[in-house]
Amino acid sequence: MKPSDKYLFPLAAVLLLGACSEDAVRSDETQGIVLEAVELYMADRHTNTASDTRAVSDFVVNKTDDPTSETSRLSGGLGWTLNVSVYDYNSVVYAPADGTWDYAGGQWVNTSGTQLYFANYISPRVVASLFPVTEMEAVNPSQLTAAALLQQDILVQKEDNYYITPAHIPTIELRHKHSMLDFILDSVNPDDIASVHVTAAGVTYYPYRVAARPNEYLLILPEGAANPVVNLVTTNGARYQSTVSIGGSVRNHCYCVRLTGLELLLSSVTVINWTNGTALSGEYTTPASYPTFRGAPDLTITLTYDNGLTQDITFNERGETTVKPLGRTIVAIDRFELAEPIILDKMYVDLTDFIQ
């Protein structure tokens, strides 16, 4: 055999596959892999629950008080419906979404009565969605209750082009289809709040007020929503508003926003992965490009960094200052060494408890 001959057979095989018709590549029970069931998970496939890792610990998203952290829907609870479609490399559907997947024994089982098969030579693309009753493209503007908020949270496969290895029981990783806005109203008496609503792209949304934290609100936004405006109405009829600078919300992102006082002064926006709570590198925005420090009004303190540099910062009349830090890790404040260094991995840094 000549050295070049060894390449001829693989090339011929590739050309043959490319010339196959849809019927020729469709598997049957004598050669295909039967799709019997699927396993769903988010973030942690070993526990089948969302991760509790928190990059922004003072926000409620992903925690117990966040209704969207409810994972029983992954295991057939709450009456959620699962649709799964499997496609070949030509985007020809193999396993159509039939809406008859029932949860049993740790898996979602195909109960349609029709046998479903994978193509037997290539990893197929899967399109999956888990949703309540109907799969709504647009979110409902009214999300005032925990149940109403959760109803907007459609779960879909991890990526738009999500490929799986053919198996009788493959695993599918899910993510949130929409984005979340989680905002806290700092230094506001909850008894002074008559109503809160958010406007975006001409639509007025009514967020869920977290039951255990009356100064925090959650709102699911459709993908691509830009620059939402938070509106506050007080019990005496005064109205305030603040625009959150988001160029366009992204699927599975949560925008954690802190607004201070009735004037709703924007302190920070931190962007995290909605599924596992980890901060998304480089995706922060503030009124300036540097972190905002919180302390005591009109007070000056000295920060010492692990690189040996020191920096004096002065808080304004609201107890805040936005400056460029001289290092990443603060090891001392006013020459008092900290028991645990402060790592500047957030755009809003509260130093109140550290000031002597």
Q: Which domains are assigned to the chain? A: 25-176 (2.60.40), 179-285 (2.60.40.2630), 292-354 (no CATH)
Q: Is the dihedral of CA 40, 43, 48, 52 positive or negative?
A: negative
Q: What is the pLDDT of residues 95-149, one digit of tens each?
A: 887 778 899 888 999 888 888 888 766 788 899 999 987 666 678 999 999 999 9
Residue 291 near residue 344 (C-beta atoms within 8 A): yes
Q: Could you tell me how far CA 120 lies from the centroid of its own chain?
A: 34
Give this prediction's pTM.
Answer: 0.70
Confidence of residue 31 (pLDDT cuts 50, 70, 90): low
Work out the end-to-end distance of the chain between its first and last CA atoms, rounded to an integer number of angstroms: 83
- Higher-confidence position of 240 and 346: 240
Task: Please determine, for residue 332, whether its predicted confidence score (pLDDT) is greater than 90.
Answer: yes
Task: Please determine, for residue 19, whether its predicted confidence score (pLDDT) is greater than 70.
Answer: no
Task: Please determine, for residue 76, whether its predicted confidence score (pLDDT) is greater than 80.
Answer: yes
Confidence of residue 6 (pLDDT cuts 50, 70, 90): very low
- Across the range 157-180, mean pLDDT stands at 90
- In angstroms, rounded to a whole number, what is the distance separating the alpha carbons of residues 78 and 94? 28
- In angstroms, rounded to a whole number, what is the distance separating the alpha carbons of residues 206 and 195? 9
